[in-house]
Amino acid sequence: MVFKYPELVATARDVEEAKQLIEAGADAIRIGHQQYGLRVSGDFELNDIKKTVKYSHDRNKKVYIVTNAIFHNANVDKLPNYLDCLVDIEVDGIICGDPSIFPILTETNINLPIHWNPETLSTNYDTLAFWQSKGINRALLSNELGMDAVLEIKDRLTLPVEVQVHGMTCIFQSKRKLVTNYYNYINPTELIGVEELNDKKLYIKQIKESDSNYPIFEDCNGTHVMSNEDICMIEHLEPLIKGGVDSLRINGILNSREYNSKIVELYRKAINLCCDSTDGYHRNKGIFKHEIEKIQPAYRILDTGFYYKEQIY
User: pLDDT at position 165, please?
Assistant: 98
Q: Is residue 2 part of a domain?
A: no
d(CA 9, CA 11): 7
Q: Which of 182, 221, 228 minimizes the C-alpha distance to 205?
A: 228
Check which CATH number belongs to the domain holding 159 and give it: 3.20.20.70
Q: Is residue 308 part of a domain?
A: no
8 A C-beta contact, residue 32 and residue 23: no
**Residues of the domain holding 195:** 173-224
User: pLDDT at position 8, please?
Assistant: 98
pLDDT tens digits, one per residue of 166-201 = 999 877 767 777 666 666 666 555 544 444 444 444
Q: Which of 184, 224, 187, 221 minimizes the C-alpha distance to 204?
A: 224
User: pLDDT at position 215, please?
Assistant: 78
User: pLDDT at position 71, please?
Assistant: 80
Q: Which of 37, 40, 51 minimizes the C-alpha distance to 83?
A: 37
8 A C-beta contact, residue 115 and residue 162: yes
Taking only the tens of pLDDT, the chain with its 313 residues reads: 667 899 999 999 999 999 999 999 999 999 999 999 888 989 999 999 999 999 999 999 999 999 988 888 877 888 999 999 999 999 999 999 989 899 999 999 999 999 999 877 788 999 999 999 999 999 999 999 999 999 999 999 999 999 999 999 877 767 777 666 666 666 555 544 444 444 444 455 555 555 667 777 777 777 877 778 899 999 999 999 999 999 999 999 989 999 999 999 999 999 999 999 999 999 999 999 999 999 999 888 999 999 998 655 4
For residue 96, CA distances in Å to 26, 36, 38, 211 come to 21, 10, 10, 34
**Dihedrals phi, psi of 273, to nearest 5 degrees:** -65, -40
Strand, helix or coil for residue 285 = helix
Q: Are residues 153 and 247 in the same domain?
A: yes
Q: Tell me the residue length of the chain.
A: 313
User: pLDDT at position 39, please?
Assistant: 85
d(CA 115, CA 96): 6
> What is the pTM assigned to this prediction?
0.87
Q: Are residues 204 and 68 in the same domain?
A: no
Q: Which of 87, 14, 81, 83 minimizes the C-alpha distance to 51?
A: 14
Q: Is residue 281 part of a domain?
A: yes
Q: Are residues 106 and 212 in the same domain?
A: no
